[in-house]
Amino acid sequence: MRSLRDFTSGVGFFAQGFGWVARNGRWWAFGLIPALIAFAVYVAALIFLGTNAAELATFLTPFADSWGWRELFRTLVGIALFLGGLTLAVITFAAVTLVIGEPFYERLSAAVDVLEHEVEQPWWRTLPRSIRDSLVTLCYVLMFTIPLFVLGFVPVVGQTVVPVLGAAVSGFFLTVELTTLALERRGMARKQRFALLRANKASALGFGVAVFLLFLVPLAAVIAMPAAVAGAALLVRNRLSPTHPGPPNPPHPTP
């Protein structure tokens, strides 16, 4: 029961993020800029993948040249490749957007989660570390998603268990990425952040799965990105690291 309550509260923090940016419309518009840039890049990449999926499937399956049903098999492989690319895009969208818009989202996170004492570093110093941490996180994601991608071809299991596990894995690592800003402002390194989120797994999953499912909707990732950053800051402030020194009702400076 407690895990369910924690999971639900994680979802609630994402909803609170929407509430915060809705009350502070300038911050929402401010946070859309890097999300739109990242979205344009991903759309171009997915269009390229979609238009070349058949050729890529043929290249990857030379062993099927003599099969009588090779066209059907390669069509299924092409569809799987595109769906895999789409899933990877959803998983990595937050990380890439945060890298592109780190100065934007640092200010947004700081406006949501005001601290009297925080570890401050200029963005040009934190950017290389953010890229490195995102690549490490991506390696962890691939460790899980590649086996799940293969299991997706198993009848029944691939259509039932695998999507649930995939959403859970993707959701957890989305939370890892989105809480980075607020936790770094508390001086926490990557290993400490992972340990904290593992200790609060249900809340991390609730927040991240909600973000993941919404990010699957076209254009929703762009609109929801500022809310996801705000919600992650609220999750850190009120659940993951509640003993903060900031005021209970922080002011909201304009961007």
From first to last of its 255 residues, the chain has per-residue pLDDT tens of 788 899 999 999 999 999 999 999 888 888 898 999 999 999 999 999 999 988 998 888 888 888 888 888 888 888 888 888 887 888 788 888 888 888 888 889 989 998 876 666 665 666 677 777 778 887 888 888 788 877 877 777 777 888 899 899 989 999 999 999 899 888 888 889 999 999 999 999 999 999 999 988 878 888 999 999 999 999 999 988 765 444 434 444 455
Q: Are 193 and 245 in contact (CB under 8 A)?
A: no
Domain spans of the chain, in order of start:
2-239
Phi, psi of 57 (to 5 degrees): -65, -40
What is the DSSP-derived secondary structure letter of residue 243? -
Neighbouring C-beta atoms of residue 106, cutoff 10 Å: 22
The reported pLDDT for the residue numbered 123 is: 59
In the chain, what is the greatest distance between 2 CA atoms, to the nearest angstrom? 70
Tell me the C-alpha to C-alpha distance, in Å, between residue 93 and each of 26, 47, 90, 98, 197: 22, 16, 5, 8, 20
Neighbouring C-beta atoms of residue 154, cutoff 10 Å: 11
pLDDT tens column, 219-230: 888 899 999 999
Provide the whole-model pTM. Answer: 0.80
pLDDT tens column, 228-247: 999 999 999 998 876 544 44
